[in-house]
A and B are shown apart, each in its own frame.
Chain A
Amino acid sequence: MADTLHIEPGLTPKRRGRASTTLILFGVLAVMVAVFSSLSKDFYSFQNISTMLTNVSFSGIVAGTLTLVMITGGLDISIGGNIALTSCLVAYLFNLTPPVPGWALVPIALALGAAIGAFNGFFITRLDLNPIITTLGTMAVARGLGYVLTKARSILIMEDVTGFIGRTVVPGIQIPIPLILFAVIFTMLFFLLSRSKFGRKVYVIGANPAAARVSGIKVKRVKFILYLMSGIAASLSGLILTGQTAVGMPQHANGMELDVITAILLGGTALAGGKGSILGTLAGVLILGVLYNGFTMIGFRYVHIRVFQGVLLILIVALYELRDRKKY
């Protein structure tokens, strides 16, 4: 058209982007660190921060991949069960006579995670089942198999490879291996989601799956890959936890879905899909970690913090909901 571009009524530039939400979250994080540091002398020590970050790594890795799943509008709550079964299987295999060698345990564990992820992905994409129900089922199956495998006992596993993954601190820089894994995985996921073609497809699928399909995006394939990734990430977390605790047991990671989902929602990912970011999830994971650690430091007990966390989850969802619903 020949006439000049003019702004129609109803067109106000909207740039309430992910960046600003994430920025606010990191601000909140900084304030929390400052408050806890002033309340407790031990909080702001290298030892404590390092311990806290190591604890965070284990759930953070899972939260990273689950963020991608949730941006497509999906969900994977089998992660806790997956972690428990991984630890049980690794400990079981190591305690056989003769024991399965340490170098073989890692690929076996990751293959187990991949198998659980593929199982979820198959039922959710090919048969179009509800992801919550499917992964709820998988969670029960995985944890149940863990009990079967260990006869409901804890199995001690003093083994070098898992010990290396879970407990080693890199000499010189004093950074634990889980934290390095966490950093590497988050960097990779950050580039995957916000810089790659695959990441763009993830957003499009979450925003409108029907339009994604019409646009030639292979929706089922992308979703399948994400569930696969989620499964593998969970088994990696399982290895870390096994190494940290030196124990394989079916009660591992009980209820960790709550931690992970709280962190992701806190980071600004929408349950309905289409919105979310890796940096947001990073902020969510760290805030939750500082919250647990800080409150413990100033004398609260785990159960109390748990209550607080539940309330926090509902508050976050309500807040984001109100913001999105803002009308004239």
Chain B
Amino acid sequence: MEQPLLEMRNISKQFPGVQALKDVSIDLHAGEVLGLVGENGAGKSTLIKILAGDYRADAGDILINGRKVYFRSPSDAAEMGIRFIYQELITLDTLTVTENLFVGRMPRRKGLGTIDWKAANEGARQVLQRMNIDIDPRTVVGDLTVHQKQVLEIAKAINKKATILVMDEPTAALGEEDTQSLFRIITGLKEQGVGVIHISHRLKEVFEITDRVTVLRDGQKIGTVKTADADMTQLISMMVGRELAEFYPKRDLPLGNTLMEVKDLTIDGIIDRISFSVRTGEIVGLFGLLGSGRMNVLRALYGLDDTSGGQIIVNGTPVLISGPSDALSNGIGYMPIDRKLEGLALTLPVSSNITMANIDHIGGGFVLNRRLERQRAEKWVEDVSIRTPDIGTDANSLSGGNQQKIVLAKLLETGSKMFLMNEPTRGIDVGAKVDIYRMMENLCEAGAGIVMISSELPEMLSMADRILVIAGGRVSAEFSRQEATQEKLLHATTL
């Protein structure tokens, strides 16, 4: 067998009180995409941080082209041609595309040493062309879409000679279409002999793009399989260490009365006369591409975005919602798309996060009843199965899946009946996903209604009772669960 491009041999790493990695080995060949999967806390990030030189392994070696290397800092790794793309983008938003690409090494004119803008923009144009992206290099990066920024990060990473590209959840913020165009870029890199490590929670993508997959669980390597020989069930059971009875615990629940009715909801220039209704026990999916306006519908219903027209009727009574507190007092709760941005106060304890949207009801009068708060928090930690040492732990130190469950618990604590969920399982591991699906079903059984946005098609097709496709700010089609297929949904986004 040929010499691997990268080998990490018998890597171990201990954090205070936790063995984060134990004797883990991986190898990566040139022109190959290696998937790295595992639940949150399995050790993927630690492994990658050791490769990047952010952490130092307690034991084990890193070999590049068969030669041992020692990374003391991220710049050592960069010097070896290892590039990293993280989920959180680190673009310089107030500068142009060109400046982002050549940051630190802008071409200069001879003599005075001033920046040679013509050469810089031309160089940037060439880089972008090679990547098949159509952006004016003089655009200010803050004006780009998430996908364009991501592509820019990749362009920046491989602009300097790259031999290994490591991508940590690169598709977390992307829709279906942008993911596909990212994959075309990865395929192109493969052909140039770059070795790619791809970390993702979206198993469908892992099957689409990787050649081999390494599975980690609880800091140990469970195994490496050829993607072509593996199937989804096998991979999931390797990751969670048990068989998941059913990935989508969807039940056929009877639907009740109309819970919420939306009539002609309009935001000038963004959404146009959107009408739909939700019954008790029902999950209504809103499907659409980025920029279709589906998120604005949810945000407007919760009072986060101003509307220019329309009516919201809850339990037969028209209500006026001019802010989140109005929505909450009408029994409408919202789960934001980004738990770190809008969901949690990460530096506060789990208990404070759970009661955060219900502070006014924790005890009567002016005083916050701390005993009641503890009781409420403990109840939800158990009911939603949040894995935390205790309710006083900072939300910060929990895994993504458990943080997402806190957001759900916070929503449940408000006692809402109508739930607006914006990507309820974004970026979390399969075990936590199933827990959240199960909670959604339980809510429906208890007479709640849910409006859900998801850019994961299988999730949408399996969990929603009814799917509205939003395109260009309008409802372009509506399908029942039985009618809906991937093709029909994608087709309707073009209508």
- Would you call B357 an interface residue if the criterion is a C-beta within 8 Å of the partner chain's C-beta atoms? yes
When the two chains form their complex, are residues B345 and A9 in contact, meaning their CB atoms are under 8 A apart? no
- Cβ B389 vs Cβ A13 within 8 A: yes
C-alpha spacing A219/B373, complex, angstroms: 21
Separation of A274 and B348 alpha carbons in the complex (Å): 8
Q: Which B residue's beta carbon lies closest to that of A218?
A: B325
Q: Is the CB of A210 within 8 A of B389?
A: no
Query: Is the CB of A183 closer than 8 A to any CB of chain B?
Result: no
Q: Give the contact-size bracket for chain B.
A: 35 or more
Residues of chain A contacted by B304 (CB below 8 angstroms): 213-214
Comparing A144-152, A153-161, A198-206, the segment that makes contact with chain B is A198-206
Contact with B along A1-12 (1 / 0, CB 8 A): 100011111111
With a cutoff of 8 Å between Cβ atoms, the chain A residues found around residue B19 in the complex are 9
Q: Does B368 belong to the interface (CB within 8 Å)?
A: yes
Counting CB contacts under 8 A, is A21 at the interface? no
Which residues of the other chain, B, contact A199 by a CB distance below 8 angstroms? 368
Contact check, A14 vs B431: say whether CB atoms are below 8 A apart.
Answer: no
Q: Tell me if A201 and B359 are in contact (CB < 8 A).
A: yes
A98 on interface, CB distance cutoff 8 Å: no
Interface residues of A in 177-209 (CB under 8 A from B): 195-201, 203-204, 207-208
Asked if B397 is at the interface (CB within 8 A of a chain A CB), the reply is yes
Question: Is B91 an interface residue, CB under 8 A from the partner?
Answer: no
Known contacts being A9-B43, A10-B20, A195-B367, is A207 close to B346, with CB within 8 Å?
Answer: yes
Residues of B within 8 A of A8 (CB): 40-41, 387, 399, 402
B359 touches A208 (CB 8 A): no
Contact string against A for B residues 335-351, beta-carbon threshold 8 Å, 1 for contact and 0 otherwise? 01000011111111000
User: Which of B15, B344, B345, B414 counts the most A-chain CB atoms under 10 A from its CB?
Assistant: B345
Count of chain A residues with Cβ under 8 Å from any Cβ of B? 35
Q: Check if B343 sits within 8 Å of A211, measured CB to CB.
A: yes
Q: Convert B383-394 into 0s and 1s, putting 1 for each residue whose CB lies closer than 8 angstroms to a CB of A.
A: 001011110111
- Complex Cα gap A7–B344 (Å): 21
The CB with the most chain B CB atoms within 10 A, among A197, A210, A215, is that of: A215
Which residues of A have CB within 8 Å of B323? 216, 218
- Within 1-57 of B, Cβ neighbours of A (below 8 Å) are at 15-20, 40-43, 55
Chain A residues near B352: list those with CB within 8 A.
Answer: 200, 203-204
**B362 pairs with A15, CB closer than 8 A:** no
B390 contacts which chain A residues (CB < 8 A)? Answer: 13
On whether the beta carbons of A216 and B431 are closer than 8 Å, the reply is: no
Residues of A within 8 A of B348 (CB): 203-204, 207, 274
- Give bound CA distance, A250 to B302, whole Å: 50
User: Which single residue of chain A is at the shortest CB-CB distance from B343?
Assistant: A211
- Most chain A CB atoms below 10 A, which of B40, B352, B389, B398: B389
Residues of A within 8 A of B393 (CB): 11, 13-15
Within 8 Å of chain B (Cβ to Cβ): is A212? yes
Q: Tell me the nearest residue of chain A to B399, going by C-beta.
A: A8
Given A204-B345, A207-B346, A274-B345, A215 contacting B387 (CB threshold 8 A): no
What chain A residues lie within 8 Å of B41 (beta carbons)?
Answer: 8-11
Task: Tell me if B360 is interfacial: C-beta within 8 Å of chain A.
Answer: yes
Least CB separation from A274: chain B residue? B347
Chain B: which residue is nearest A17 at the CB level?
B392
Contacts of B218 in A (CB 8 A): 9
Residues of A contacting B447 in the complex (Cβ-Cβ under 8 angstroms): none
Evaluate contact between A328 and B15: CB separation under 8 angstroms: yes
B18 / chain A contacts, CB cutoff of 8 Å: 9-12
Q: Is the CB of A211 within 8 A of B342?
A: yes
Residues of A with C-beta under 8 A to B279? none
Name the contact of A216 in the complex, choosing from B325, B344, B398 (C-beta under 8 A): B325
Closest to B368 in A: A197
- A217 sits at the interface (CB 8 A): yes
Cβ proximity bits B315-346 to A, threshold 8 Å, 1 near / 0 not: 00000000111011000001010000111111
In the complex, A223 has a CB within 8 A of chain B: no
Q: Which residues of A contact B347 (CB under 8 A)?
A: 207, 274-275
- Verify B344–A211 contact, CB threshold 8 A: yes
**A274 vs B346: C-alpha distance in the bound complex, in angstroms?**
10
Give the interface SS of chain B, mostly helix, strand, loop or mixed.
loop
* Least Cβ–Cβ distance between B347 and chain A, in angstroms: 5
A213 neighbours in B (Cβ, 8 Å): 304, 324, 342
CA distance A200 to B342 in the complex (A): 17
B424 at the interface (CB under 8 A from A): no
By the criterion CB–CB under 8 Å, are B324 and A214 in contact?
yes
Identity of the chain B residue whose Cβ is nearest the Cβ of A3 in the assembled complex: B242
Known: A199-B368, A208-B344, A275-B347. A12 touches B357 (CB 8 A): no
- Please report the C-alpha to C-alpha distance between residue A217 and residue B360 in the assembled complex, in whole angstroms: 9
Query: Complex: how many Å from CA A6 to CA B399?
Result: 13
* B211: Cβ under 8 A from any A Cβ: no
Residues from 1 to 43 in A contacting B, C-beta threshold 8 Å: 1, 5-15
In the bound complex, how far is the Cα of B397 from the Cα of A274, in angstroms?
16
Given A9-B41, A10-B41, A14-B394: A210 and B342 interface contact (C-beta under 8 Å): yes
- Given A10-B20, A12-B17: A214 touches B389 (CB 8 Å cut-off): no
Q: Smallest distance from the beta carbon of B349 to chain A beta carbons, Å?
A: 9
Complexed CA–CA distance, A204 and B392 (Å): 15
Is there an interface contact between A214 and B336, defined as CB atoms closer than 8 Å?
Answer: yes
Partner of B435 from the list A1, A6, A217 (CB cut-off 8 Å) is: A1
Residues of B within 8 A of A10 (CB): 15, 18, 20, 41, 397, 399
Selected contact of A15 from candidates B17, B366, B392, CB within 8 Å: B392
In the complex, the answer to whether A216 meets B394 with C-beta atoms within 8 Å is: no
Indicate which residue in A1, A11, A200, A275 contacts B368 across the interface (CB closer than 8 Å). A200
With both chains docked as a complex, state the minimum distance between the C-beta of A53 and any C-beta of chain B, in angstroms: 30
Cα distance, A204 to B349, chains bound together (Å):
11
User: Which residues of chain A have C-beta atoms less than 8 A from B366's C-beta?
Assistant: 196-198
Q: Binary interface profile of B, 290-330, with partner A (CB < 8 Å = 1, else 0)?
A: 00000000000010100000000000000000011101100
Interface residues of A in 212-236 (CB under 8 A from B): 212-218
Q: Which residues of B contact A198 (CB under 8 A)?
A: 366
Please, which residue of chain A has its CB at the minimum distance from the CB of B20?
Answer: A9
User: What's the nearest-Cβ distance from chain A to residue B490, in Å?
Assistant: 31
B410 at the interface (CB under 8 A from A): yes
B131 at the interface (CB under 8 A from A): no
Q: Which residue of A lies closest to B56 (CB)?
A: A328
Residue in A closest to B326 when the chains form the complex, CB atoms: A216
Q: Which of B402-461 contact A (CB under 8 A)?
A: 402, 410, 414, 431, 435
In the complex, how many angstroms separate the beta carbon of A11 from the nearest chain B beta carbon?
6
Q: Which residues of B contact A195 (CB under 8 A)?
A: 367-368, 370
User: A98-130 vs B: 1/0 string, CB under 8 Å?
Assistant: 000000000000000000000000000000000
18 inter-chain pairs at a CB distance below 8 angstroms, sorted by A residue, are A7-B389, A9-B18, A10-B399, A11-B41, A11-B389, A13-B389, A14-B394, A14-B396, A15-B393, A197-B363, A203-B345, A203-B352, A210-B341, A211-B341, A211-B342, A211-B344, A211-B345, A214-B342
Q: 5 new A-B pairs (CB below 8 Å) besides A204-B348, A208-B344? A: A12-B17, A13-B392, A203-B348, A217-B325, A217-B356
